[in-house]
């Protein structure tokens, strides 16, 4: 928050210079927003960019992508008109002008109105599913329509794909009914096709109902974020209602399906499964799944959300506890299914650290699962990830475990203080992470407590979705050679910190109403060895592939990420861990010879192929054949779900918990044990611990300086 204070005070000091008085200011709120945001971000951002012609071009491209990335509304001559502003946006920002926004907004409203007026006519003619043709939905390479006639052809072709998808599902249902009851009278193909077009008409009505509710300020927020996104992917403008939603999410008290969504390649994708939510409990979605349609339980037809603004899609998906929502999902392996989800309140208890005892003939081992680095900001001593992990470590020590696995897979981060404290449980006093702030100020965050809670072998489990705080502790334990990191080729690679700045504090009097807030990147993380975790993340000591190995999902795959760099290393001494090199070499050899690992890698390549396939057949036979081929090929990967570990797993009650566990919690833990039995990554981590502890000495970890 120190950065916030500096920015705020500096801004107040220049308010009078900039002329922020009621008499001299521009009466339009959006112009004022442009001026305030550009001012704050240039002075508060960790690595501000020059607002020049190159910046202008990038805003231009990003904004048009956000407005009409699927090329469904604008015509080629519209884009030609817009091009005159391509290198003027920087000048408009500096002069608090919004000419480009006004031009595009007016034209978009016109084009959307035209599409709304012609779509029903397009859907009045039946589709012929016998004509062999294809459609390519790689929008980046598709041109804009030259005129309205060509635009109608584009819409009709996309409508045909939607109709074919619905038609094929209904046809399959009819065939199943016929197989179950030979006297059943199947609905004719003609009627099925007609019903599919009716569904699309209803879908489009819902689509335009949502879009017609959009206010000018909603579209202006998109423009603002096209500007601030040029600084880095985590700098973001929150309109007033979005700020309220962000506050609610940060508090952990919200109702919905329990998944975080993002928009990539014009698709709404799942980027995080929130522990404790309904999706997490029932394993209904996976990271990388694309949500194509949304249907409410009291409605017959689903709304196609492809190309929809992310906030509007989220509104449709979220809802009150107990209500149902039906999502049409394109899985990462290419299969399309409808999933029923009962919305619920995310249970905070499920995000807490929990431990499991793993029993092997060689001895017992401990597993600590940590979904996030949580904290109570009002009272650090009340409950946080660090103190909870400490309790679990002490509980496992009483069980005389020979080694511990710290599972940070899918852990997107959290409190920095808890990371520093937690790292200290495994090392003697020393630096944990370096933080460089706006203006170049550097701070080394240290563990000052010489007490070591656990001095035995450790394996840290990570994957592509281990980010931020997870990367700090994994990097520190790796640099100290205190743990072996097992998992994906590298972690997510988010090595930056953001602060929320309330824009209302920049102007006194509230003349303009609520201005919202700006999330700004203000700091950067560095390992104790001086290397940034930005982009590169943490590279695993032992690479164990998973299905996402070749899918672009990390920080390096975002737009405008900050660069990787390095600073002076902190003063630290690596430790000596018995059997360190031996355990790594043994694990690599096991993985090389394991046929399951080869199958996982094959699955990852298959997933990559499906993610990059944007072409679809528009005739029924080819469409069904391709769908069946994909389904059959995906069957070969079912062997992965048949794996069972040779170890015994025993869940432990939450350390320090005195109250009685209810039946629901006990049942959830039992189900979690079944998941662990099928987790080959946990099994390999146990094998590494066995190697590390095979002939271990009493003084398991010895500092180099003590040996000298």
CA dihedral 256, 262, 265, 268 (to 10 degrees): 0
Q: What backbone phi and psi angles, to 5 degrees, belong to 520? A: -125, 135
Q: Which of 56, 275, 468, 587 is catalytic?
A: 468
Cα distance between residue 505 and residue 492, in whole Å:
34
User: Helix, strand, or coil here: 139?
Assistant: helix
- The DSSP secondary-structure symbol of 532 reads B
State the first-to-last Cα distance of the chain, in angstroms, to the nearest integer: 42
Instruction: Confirm if 297 and 287 have CB atoms less than 8 A apart.
Output: no
- The DSSP secondary-structure symbol of 562 reads P
Question: What are the residues whose beta carbons fall under 8 Å from the beta carbon of 377, sequence distance 6 or more?
Answer: none
Q: How many CA atoms lie within 13 A of 198 on its CB side?
A: 7
Cα distance between residue 18 and residue 36, in whole Å:
10
Told to judge if 494 belongs to the known catalytic residues of this protein, a careful annotator would answer yes
Told to judge if 479 belongs to the known catalytic residues of this protein, a careful annotator would answer yes
Instruction: State the CB neighbour count (10 A cutoff) for residue 635.
Output: 9
Told to judge if 557 belongs to the known catalytic residues of this protein, a careful annotator would answer no
Q: What angle do CA 481, 486, 490 make, to 5 degrees?
A: 95
Q: Which of 199, 289, 479, 541 is catalytic?
A: 479
Instruction: Confirm if 135 and 622 have CB atoms less than 8 A apart.
Output: no
Element (H, E) at 623: helix 620-635
Measured in residues, the chain has a length of 708
Instruction: Confirm if 672 and 280 have CB atoms less than 8 A apart.
Output: no
Instruction: Confirm if 325 and 297 have CB atoms less than 8 A apart.
Output: yes
Nearest to 294 by CA among 279, 280, 281, 308: 308
By the 10 Å C-beta count (0-12 exposed, 13-18 middle, 19+ buried), 597 is classed as middle
Q: How many CA atoms lie within 13 A of 165 on its CB side?
A: 20
Q: CA-CA distances (angstroms) from residue 659 to 116, 653, 655, 662?
A: 59, 10, 11, 9
Q: Where do the DSSP E strands lie in 604-692?
A: 615-617, 648-651
Task: Extract the tokens encoding 459.
Answer: 């394996």
Instruction: Confirm if 268 and 261 have CB atoms less than 8 A apart.
Output: yes
Q: Which of 170, 263, 330, 494 is catalytic?
A: 494
Cα distance between residue 19 and residue 16, in whole Å:
5
Please give the positions annotated as active site: 468, 479, 494
């Amino acid at each position: 928050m120190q950065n916030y204070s500096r920015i705020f005070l500096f801004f107040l000091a220049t308010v009078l210079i900039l002329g922020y008085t009621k008499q001299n200011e521009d009466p339009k709120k959006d112009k004022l927003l442009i001026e305030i945001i550009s001012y704050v971000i240039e002075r508060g951002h960790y690595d501000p960019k020059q607002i020049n012609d190159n910046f202008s071009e990038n805003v231009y491209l990003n904004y048009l992508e956000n407005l009409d990335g699927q090329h469904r509304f604008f015509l080629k001559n519209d884009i030609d008109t817009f091009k005159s502003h391509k290198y003027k946006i920087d000048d408009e920002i500096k002069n608090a002008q919004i000419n480009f926004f006004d031009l595009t907004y007016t034209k978009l409203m016109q084009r959307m109105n035209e599409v709304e007026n012609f779509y029903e006519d397009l859907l009045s003619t039946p589709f012929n599913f016998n004509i062999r043709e294809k459609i390519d939905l790689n929008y980046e390479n598709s041109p804009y329509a030259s005129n309205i006639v060509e635009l109608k052809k584009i819409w009709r072709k996309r409508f045909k794909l939607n109709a074919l998808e619905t038609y094929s599902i209904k046809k399959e249902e009819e065939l199943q009914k016929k197989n179950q009851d030979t006297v059943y009278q199947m609905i004719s193909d003609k009627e099925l096709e007609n019903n599919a077009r009716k569904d699309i008409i209803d879908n489009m009505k819902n689509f335009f109902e949502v879009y017609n509710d959009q206010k000018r300020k909603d579209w202006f927020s998109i423009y603002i974020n096209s500007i601030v996104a040029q600084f880095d992917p985590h700098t973001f403008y929150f309109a007033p209602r979005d700020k309220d939603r962000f506050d609610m999410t940060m508090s952990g008290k919200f109702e919905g399906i329990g998944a975080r969504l993002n928009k990539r390649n014009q698709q709404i994708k799942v980027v995080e499964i929130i522990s404790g939510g309904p999706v997490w409990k029932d394993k209904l979605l996976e990271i990388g799944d694309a949500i194509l349609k949304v249907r409410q339980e009291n409605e017959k037809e689903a709304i196609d959300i492809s190309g929809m603004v992310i906030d509007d899609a989220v509104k449709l998906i979220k809802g009150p506890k107990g209500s149902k929502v039906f999502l049409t999902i394109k899985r990462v392996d290419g299969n399309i299914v409808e999933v029923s989800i009962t919305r619920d309140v995310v249970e905070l208890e499920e995000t807490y650290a929990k431990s499991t005892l793993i029993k092997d003939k060689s001895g017992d081992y401990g597993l600590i699962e940590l979904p996030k680095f949580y904290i109570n900001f009002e009272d650090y001593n009340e409950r946080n990830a660090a103190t909870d992990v400490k309790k679990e470590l002490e509980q496992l020590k009483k069980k005389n475990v020979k080694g511990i696995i710290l599972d940070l897979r899918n852990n997107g981060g959290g409190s920095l203080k808890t990371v520093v404290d937690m790292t200290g449980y495994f090392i003697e006093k020393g630096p944990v992470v370096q933080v460089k702030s706006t203006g170049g100020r550097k701070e080394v965050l240290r563990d000052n407590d010489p007490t070591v809670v656990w001095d035995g072998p450790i394996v840290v489990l990570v994957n592509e979705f281990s980010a931020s705080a997870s990367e700090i502790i994994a990097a520190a334990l790796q640099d100290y050679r205190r743990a072996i990191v097992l998992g994906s080729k590298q972690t997510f690679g988010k090595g930056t910190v953001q602060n929320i700045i309330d824009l209302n504090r920049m102007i006194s009097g509230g003349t303009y109403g609520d201005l919202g807030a700006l999330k700004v990147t203000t700091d950067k993380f560095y390992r104790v060895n001086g290397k940034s975790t930005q982009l590169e993340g943490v590279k695993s000591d032992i690479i164990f592939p998973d299905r996402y190995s070749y899918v672009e999902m990390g920080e390096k795959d975002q737009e405008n990420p900050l660069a990787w760099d390095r600073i002076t290393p902190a003063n630290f001494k690596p430790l000596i861990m018995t059997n360190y090199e031996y355990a790594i070499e043994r694990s690599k050899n096991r993985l090389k010879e394991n046929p399951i690992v080869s199958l996982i890698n094959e699955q990852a390549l298959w997933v990559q192929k499906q993610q990059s396939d944007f072409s679809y057949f528009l005739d029924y036979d080819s469409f069904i054949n391709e769908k069946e081929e994909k389904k059959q090929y995906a069957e070969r990967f079912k062997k992965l779900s048949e794996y069972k570990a040779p170890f015994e797993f025993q869940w432990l009650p939450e350390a320090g918990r005195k109250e009685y566990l209810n039946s629901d919690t006990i049942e959830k833990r039992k189900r979690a044990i079944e998941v662990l039995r099928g987790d080959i990554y946990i099994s390999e981590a146990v094998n590494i611990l066995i190697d590390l502890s095979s002939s271990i000495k009493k003084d398991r970890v010895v500092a180099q300086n003590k040996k000298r």
